Amino acid sequence: MTDRIQVLLVDDHAVVRAGFKLLLSSSANIAVIAEATRGEQAILLYSQLQPDIVVMDLSMPGIGGLETIRRLCQRDAQARILVFSVHDQQVFVQRALQAGARGYISKNTAPHILTEAIESLFKGEIYVESGLSKDSMLQQGECDYRRLIDDLSAREFDVFRLLAMGLTSHGIADELSLGYKTVANYATRIKKKLRASSVAELARIAMSLGILHR
């Protein structure tokens, strides 16, 4: 029905999308009109279908979630994007909202929160799950790292996270559909921005910010 909130689901896991769709089908106010497995496809579908809400993960192959949010918002300043991610650390919330998302909830949340968040965004509100909108007490060094992390572009942040997880440059190139030399250049810039001399240091920074915790 045309009066239902039209939702585009974006997640690279078919089982996850099926779960989302089943959950949302229980709401009389929400209809899933399309699904995408990666950001490039989401951008195309958004242009074609103009959904009311985009519900998307951050960790996806290709251009990745943060860059997808940025590009969608460049094309449509009124795009209403709800991030639904396993990452519940403050740094991910901040990056997503800075990119243009209007909501952020964790995949560990209660099922009704998803529909509540979608309905809030549809009304023009900002929705961040309780507990994700406040920073925990941080040591000074951690605060400094947060400021440095904020200086990374969306793509640099994706590469940084994967480097910290232990992926090789070749592995990251495959994961993000980038050239090996491009990844190597990103890695050099990231180390310079974060004042790190090794991947081990990048991993330590990521650990201190909770980025590696799932």
- At 104, is the secondary structure helix, strand, or coil? strand
Two tokens, residue 14: 């078919």
Q: For the segment 32-76, what is each residue's pLDDT rounded down to a tens digit?
A: 999 999 999 999 999 999 999 999 999 888 888 999 999 999 899
Q: How far apart are CA 151 and CA 156, in angstroms?
A: 9
- % the chain with pLDDT above 70: 92
pTM above 0.75, yes or no: no
Say if residues 101 and 83 touch (Cβ distance below 8 Å): yes
Q: Which residue segment(s) compose the domain that 204 sits in? A: 140-208
Number of domains in the chain: 2
**DSSP category for residue 136:** P
**Regarding predicted confidence, which is higher, 98 or 172?**
172
- What is the CB neighbour count within 10 angstroms for residue 23? 15
Q: Which amino acid is at 108?
A: N
Q: Where among 86, 102, 128 does a domain terminate?
A: 128
**To which residue do tokens 């039209």 refer?**
6
- What is the CB neighbour count within 10 angstroms for residue 92? 25
Residue 2 scores a pLDDT above 70: no
Q: Where among 81, 98, 128 does a domain terminate?
A: 128
What's the average model confidence in pLDDT over 73-93?
A: 89
Q: For the segment 127-184, what is each residue's pLDDT rounded down to a tens digit?
A: 998 877 554 433 434 446 777 788 888 889 999 989 988 888 899 999 898 999 999 9
Same domain membership, residue 112 and residue 149: no
Q: How far apart are CA 48 and CA 14, in angstroms?
A: 22
Q: Per the domain annotation, does 214 fall within a domain? A: no
